[in-house]
Amino acid sequence: MNKTQKQRVKMLQNMIGFFRASLNPWVIRVKFKENPERVAFILHRVSGAIIAFYLLAHIIVTSYTDDPLAWERILNTLSSPWNKVGEWILATAIIYHGLNGIRLLLVEFFGVGIGRPELPKPPYIPPSFKGGQRKALYAVFILSIIGSILSAVLIFTGKLPI
Amino acid sequence: MLEAEELEAAKRTPPKEVILKVKRYNPETGKQYIKEYKILTYRGMTILDALNYIKENIDPTLTTRYSCRMGVCGSCGMIINGKPRLACQTQVAAVATEENPVITVEPLYNIPVIRDLVTDFTPFFEKHKMIMPYIMRKNPKEVDEAEYEFLMSPEEHLEIYEYSLCIMCGLCYSACPVTASDPEYLGPQALAQAYRYIADVRDEEPEKRIVVVDTEHGCHRCHFAGTCSAVCPKMVDPAAAIQRLRKITLFYRLGLWRKKKTSRVAGPLEKPLRKIEAQYPTHNLVEGADPEKQAKEPVSIDFTDEMLSE
Ligand code: HEM
Ligand code: SF4
Ligand code: SF4
Ligand code: FES
């Protein structure tokens, strides 16, 4: 290949990119029940970012002043309904991130729940999808929904019904 | 993994006419564009057949790469209806229906595109090379000038068999959300192969591979999104292999992991092999047939003129 040819032939990188891969569970069109782990990954990343953002904001707000009156004013502005929605999203994010985090720690550090290698047989479901981690994932989803509902009740009514 | 529904759908007859929307790339102009082709189908037509039909009859400039046409060589990976698949293993009937006869075909993601559907696997193969995908022995002569095989029990073979089925098609690499943002990530294929050789009892140098995969761009980058296993056409299950690899690297760094067992060279046979005289089977013969006589007779098949003209 001579030099002019080399200059003309340009390859297309065709990368999906960080944001599309982190936010869009449908960039690769696999069905949810075929690969819920991907949805879990995206939710984990998003919830992690929400918590990290909150932590930063929290540190800035709490270190803003040491005057009790000014602090009182800050707390007042922070008790608007929109902040309650924000709190609810944060609570949901923490519940999901924590629960799924435990599952990920078990799977990624200790190789728990990913089955054993086996002879491929129809219907060709990979062992890692048949192992305990898949059941744990559904448990995480269900517990997160329950936790999210309970936290909504607690945040918007001020008390738990139980 | 093939979805059960897809397997069912592949048995159906495809819609009479389908529209292929092919994402094409022209390296001279540097433009990517979508071109539509309307083609007639037949029962059993694969996407690769459809693309070849287009190339032969409609548009000879359409560029694809394939070789075996039967899911063995791994050259024809592409994104079909949004999911990485082998074009030769995907039936038109499985991805198109009478109501929605549109099929989109794109080159694999996260791999540089040379032209149309042809992708450049150089980086992918480089990464595969990095993990040293071959048996390494403390004494290299055992491999280079091998006189005898290495011992391996069927159970030990089953441990790695699944991973050894990889055909390097790059579907997992294309589907992974980590390769999507980190071009240096080793990728599910190379990492699964690293595990395959680390777990292989015939291999004696797992530490050399652990050093390669235990990096920022190695196994710890994986987030267990599992899409690699979901799209692999050979059920290699790279996701599980990578998690095992992580466990190994973690425990190795803590000084708690050592390869449990490496096998030895088989060596000469202790007892000479038994000789068994070959015999023609006699228990299920047609009455009066003499197999020894039949074996000597030339086989002749009579074709009628009709058969030959077909
Ligand atoms: C309840 C305790 C927590 C547990 C068990 C936990 C667990 C984990 C695990 C296992 C990962 C790795 C996920 C992966 O490999 O994909 C992770 C990622 C992450 N965590 Fe947490 N975490 C916890 C709390 C937090 C907190 C308090 C923050 C905010 C400061 C946070 C922010 C993040 C972020 C930003 C990521 C990166 C996500 C990604 O790159 O996909 N986590 N967490
Ligand atoms: S692991 Fe599966 S999807 Fe990945 S390259 Fe090998 S055969 Fe293809
Ligand atoms: S399991 Fe790991 S390697 Fe496989 S697709 Fe997910 S992030 Fe990529
Ligand atoms: S042409 Fe060989 S795998 Fe499709």
Residue the block writes with tokens 């235990």: B214
Residue the block writes with tokens 């003129």: B305
Last residue of a domain, one of B253, B269, B297: B253
Q: What is the pLDDT of residue B96?
A: 92
Q: Which residues are within 8 A (CB) of B192 and not within 5 positions of it... i.e. 6 or more apart?
A: B163, B166, B172, B236, B237, B238, B241, B242
Same structural domain, B212 and B143:
yes
Q: Tell me the pLDDT tens digit for each residue of B176-227.
A: 999 999 999 999 999 999 999 999 999 999 999 999 999 999 999 999 999 9
Same structural domain, B132 and B107:
no
pLDDT at residue A45 is higher than 60: yes
Last residue of a domain, one of B72, B101, B119: B119
pLDDT at residue A78 is higher than 60: yes
pLDDT at residue A146 is higher than 90: yes
- Ligand 2 contact, B86 CB (< 6 A): no
Task: Please tell me the distance in Å from A15's CA to the nearest CA on chain B.
Answer: 4
pLDDT at residue B32 is higher than 70: yes
- Cα B104 off chain centre by: 22
Last residue of a domain, one of B119, B150, B176: B119
pLDDT at residue B56 is higher than 80: yes
pLDDT at residue B2 is higher than 70: no
- Ligand 2 contact, B189 CB (< 6 A): yes
Helices (H), A15-80: 18-23, 36-62, 68-77
Same structural domain, B95 and B183:
no
| Cα dihedral sign, B157-B125-B48-B84 | positive
Classify residue B219 by its DSSP letter. Answer: G
- Chain A CB contacts of B178 under 8 Å are 21
Greater confidence, A124 or B181?
Answer: B181
Q: What is the CATH number of domain A37-113+122-157?
A: 1.20.1300.10
Q: Tell me the pLDDT tens digit for each residue of B230-280.
A: 999 999 999 999 999 999 999 999 999 999 889 999 888 888 888 888 877
In a domain, B97, yes or no: yes
- Ligand 2 contact, B206 CB (< 6 A): no
Greater confidence, A50 or A158?
Answer: A50
Give the structural domain span for B177.
122-253
Q: Which of A13, A34, A117 sits opposite B230 (nearest CB)?
A: A34
**Integer-rounded Cα radius of gyration of chain B:** 25
Please identify, by atom number, the ligand 4 atom nearest to the C-alpha of residue B67. Answer: 1
Tell me how many domains chain B contains: 2
Q: Is the pTM of this model over 0.90?
A: no
Q: Which of B30, B183, B232 sits opposite A15 (nearest CB)?
A: B183
| CA nearest to B174, candidates B165, B187, B192 | B187
Which value, to the nearest 10 degrees, does the dihedral of the CA atoms of residues A27, A28, A32, A33 take? -170
Mean pLDDT value across chain B: 91
- Chain B CB contacts of A40 under 8 Å are 225
Asked if B193 and B128 count as a contact pair (C-beta separation under 8 A), the reply is yes
pLDDT at residue A39 is higher than 90: yes
| CA A149 to ligand 1 centroid distance, Å | 22
Side chain identity at residue B105, one-letter code: V
Q: Which of A9, A14, A126 sits opposite B110 (nearest CB)?
A: A14
Instruction: State the ligand closest to the CA atom of B222.
Output: 3
